[in-house]
Chain A
């Protein structure tokens, strides 16, 4: 492990987390209010959209660290460590998935439909069992990778809470050399990457594509995990911007880091759009009614066509044209704004994929302030998880000094 320069003063200063606790409270209250209203299905739809979005952000961000390690990349520097902070959302995501079980009657439109033989795959016990197992494996591998990654950077002189002490004790009792730890990271990281692809494919098929149970796109699962990496990179840029702005010139994050990460973000903007287009082209040329109705409803007919075009411009055209410029990629705040807009755009993309199936042909898109408040609740949850992780392990943010 290369030594990072010491840039900071004695005590790292952390942002207060109470605003995010407030956001979480507002989100939970709005969700519970929605459940008790006349349309609980709508609250569950928003819950599902947010669960998919924020879980994908965490899964994709951690993938960055694993990929950097597997490729022996040096350019990422402190960014790979920073991305490990999103592992803190994994246990929360798993709990959120289990809560989905309670809303099954409102989430899965195929529950009471004749599925013409697909019942063998699309049934609640099997679906929840396989998805829970998949997420458990994915998150277990991610945490295993994190466990070893932290041993390379943790400062044993600094004590902290129980989890930190556990890592420190493990590091001291294992007495492994850095090379041995890196070899273990390679195994865990490689397995995480494999599980990422397979599990997110499964989640994409089960929780998004199955909402229209008679429509199939073979690449849909891969589209879901490419989207997750795109989201994860965006979230990493936002977190890196926050760290950079708080630390100022003393930060280990330089404009060159943002430039390099921005280039990778640009590449995944293209890849995400490409995976969408590849599916579209095949459906377009095949012109099979069983396949085309899905695209026609979402891209050509009101009310969803406006959402489709908005997503296209916000998540692809805008970032593509803007990120061609080198200077803009080196500006952290600007990049954070772009990435935030893309994350909002992908929220609407999830709405576009799920909405027509869950709203059962409603003439208008039912969006309200409640959807925004529930989404802010999820944002608060993610910020609390990541913020708390950085407080416990400030080394991941390139901070040294007394942990307060």
Chain B
């Protein structure tokens, strides 16, 4: 079976991207993804993606960190039972500093773990068919089609007002 061909349309305007995405979804070509230089609420709404679960990882990490931070401070303070400046052994006010920092730290860990697991990283598929202009000020809409439809897909993007992407493809042959 002939391999699918991937074509990327490079846009400068997010409204054109939205139009292209809608037209692509109604076309016989397969929509793959949109690369954005900045987050765009409009494009993400147009893509109608499933809600990401990464936030839940972050929240769980934060809750675990909050509890762990206080637990660490309370545990270590009670190992020594030293009264310092007349303060209680378990002193909530200074422990808030430890708890807060641990909340942030573990929330970040949760976020990273969420990103790695939900995006199935490390995976070089995000680097395949990537035009570096998408890290600048252009949007890239990636679509795939059968080999014989390549020119038609290129015309589709040109009609949408896009330039065609130039890929820095990774070596895809297996060792």
Contacts and interface: CB of A to CB of B under 8 A. Distances in A.
Interface of A: 254, 256, 259, 277, 280-281, 284-285, 287, 324, 326
A256 B39 CA distance: 12
Given A256-B41, A281-B93, A281-B94, 6 more contacts: A259-B41, A277-B96, A285-B85, A287-B85, A324-B59, A326-B55
B37 to A, nearest CB: 13
A284 B59 contact: no
B47 interface: no
What secondary structure prevails in chain B residues at the interface with A? helix
Interface of B: 41-42, 55, 59, 85-87, 93-94, 96-97
Nearest to B55: A326
A68 to B, nearest CB: 17
A280 B93 contact: yes
A280 to B, nearest CB: 7
B65 to A, nearest CB: 14
A326 B45 CA distance: 14
- Interchain residue pairs A-B with the least CB separation, the first 9: A256-B41, A284-B93, A287-B85, A281-B93, A280-B93, A281-B94, A287-B86, A277-B96, A285-B94
Contacts of A324: 59
Contact of A284 (B42, B55, B94): B94
A112 to B, nearest CB: 36
B52 to A, nearest CB: 10
A281 B85 contact: no
Contacts of A287: 85-87
What secondary structure prevails in chain A residues at the interface with B? helix
Contacts of B55: 326
Contacts of A284: 87, 93-94
A24 to B, nearest CB: 40
Nearest to B41: A256
7 contacts: A256-B41, A284-B93, A284-B94, A285-B94, A287-B85, A287-B86, A326-B55
B86 A281 contact: no
B67 to A, nearest CB: 15
Contacts of B41: 254, 256, 259
B58 to A, nearest CB: 10
Contacts of B42: 256
A321 to B, nearest CB: 11
Contacts of B85: 285, 287
A55 to B, nearest CB: 31
A280 B93 CA distance: 8
A308 to B, nearest CB: 14
Contacts of B59: 324
Contacts of A280: 93
Contacts of B97: 281
A254 B41 CA distance: 11
Contacts of B96: 277
Nearest to B58: A324
A183 B86 CA distance: 57
A324 B107 CA distance: 13
Contacts of A281: 93-94, 97
A281 B41 CA distance: 40
A91 to B, nearest CB: 38
A161 to B, nearest CB: 38
A285 B97 CA distance: 13
Contacts of A326: 55
A330 to B, nearest CB: 10
A256 B85 CA distance: 50
A259 B86 CA distance: 46
Contacts of A259: 41
Contacts of B87: 284, 287
Contacts of B94: 281, 284-285
Nearest to B86: A287
Contacts of A256: 41-42
A280 B92 CA distance: 12
B174 to A, nearest CB: 41
A155 B126 CA distance: 48
A324 B58 CA distance: 11
Contacts of A285: 85, 94
A326 B59 CA distance: 12
Nearest to B44: A256
A277 B96 CA distance: 9
Contacts of B86: 287
A285 B59 CA distance: 31
Nearest to B93: A284
B77 to A, nearest CB: 15
A361 B56 CA distance: 49
A79 to B, nearest CB: 14
B13 to A, nearest CB: 13
Nearest to A274: B100
Nearest to A286: B85
Contacts of A254: 41
Nearest to B91: A284
A258 to B, nearest CB: 11
Most A CB within 10 A of own CB, among B87, B93, B94, B96: B93
B93 to A, nearest CB: 5
A290 B117 CA distance: 54
A277 B85 CA distance: 19
